[in-house]
Amino acid sequence: MQVLRFRLFSLFVITVILWSIGGSLGRAQEQEQAKGELKLEGEHIERLVLWRKDGHTELFDQPGEVVELPVGQYLLMESHLDGGYACLQWGRPQKKWITIAQNKSAVLKVGAPLKQTLEVKRQGRTLALDSKLLGIGGEGYAKANRSNPPSFTVYKGDKEITSGQLAYG
């Protein structure tokens, strides 16, 4: 009789444990399946890499105008555009968190059209030129192939004063 009680008690304990594990797995799957949308406002994106706050990385090759993501907070880590332009932020993310909520849309401005900026600073008799290529979200892009750096020409009126190439970095 005691053996029977022990077996019934053991069966009950095992059933409770399995039931609680099954419930936890069901909730975990429910959380994993909770999705939201990210609308991309930008063009010519070949690859997009987002980092979720929990450490997971989401990679999209040739993303469309809308991508579906699990609910969470994300940072833009990489954006690659047609023509070999890349924005890499692994060591210096902009800390602009993108929040993806269930059944809702968030917006990320990334990619083209690109805006060329040139900052000129005078340092004595020298001009220091700082060229930047910015995406529509303010992210900085550089050409992946650096064998042909951008060039410049300085004019005084119609007369060419000097020209050269900008150095990367």
Please give the average per-residue pLDDT across 66-78, as a whole number.
94
- Tell whether 120 and 153 lie within a shared domain: yes
Same domain, 48 and 96: yes
Rounded average pLDDT over 119-148: 87
Residues 19 and 51 in one domain: no
pLDDT at 65 over 50: yes
Residues near 16 by Cβ (< 8 Å), separated by ≥ 6? Answer: none
**How many independent structural domains does the chain possess?**
3
82 and 148 assigned to the same domain: no
> Is pLDDT of 141 > 70?
yes
- Which pLDDT tens digit goes with each residue over 117-130? 888 899 898 878 88
3-state secondary structure of 44: coil
Phi-psi region of 46 (alpha: psi -120 to 50; beta: other; left: phi over 0): alpha
- Tens-digit pLDDT profile for residues 98-107: 999 998 899 9
Q: Are 153 and 160 in contact (CB under 8 A)?
A: yes
- What is the pLDDT at residue 22? 60
The verdict on 71 and 128 lying in the same domain is no
User: What's at 39, amino acid-wise?
Assistant: K
Same structural domain, 119 and 143: yes
Domain check: are 28 and 65 in the same one? no
Q: How high is the mean pLDDT of the chain?
A: 83
User: Residue 125 is part of which domain span?
Assistant: 115-165
Residues 60 and 15 occupy one common structural domain: no
Residues 92 and 124 in one domain: no
Looking at residues 14-30, what average pLDDT do you find? 57
Mean pLDDT within 88-98:
77
Does residue 53 sit in the same domain as residue 98?
A: yes
Judge whether residue 113 has pLDDT over 50: yes
**Residue 10: is its pLDDT beyond 70?**
no
Chain mean position to CA 56: 12
Last residue of a domain, one of 69, 91, 109: 109
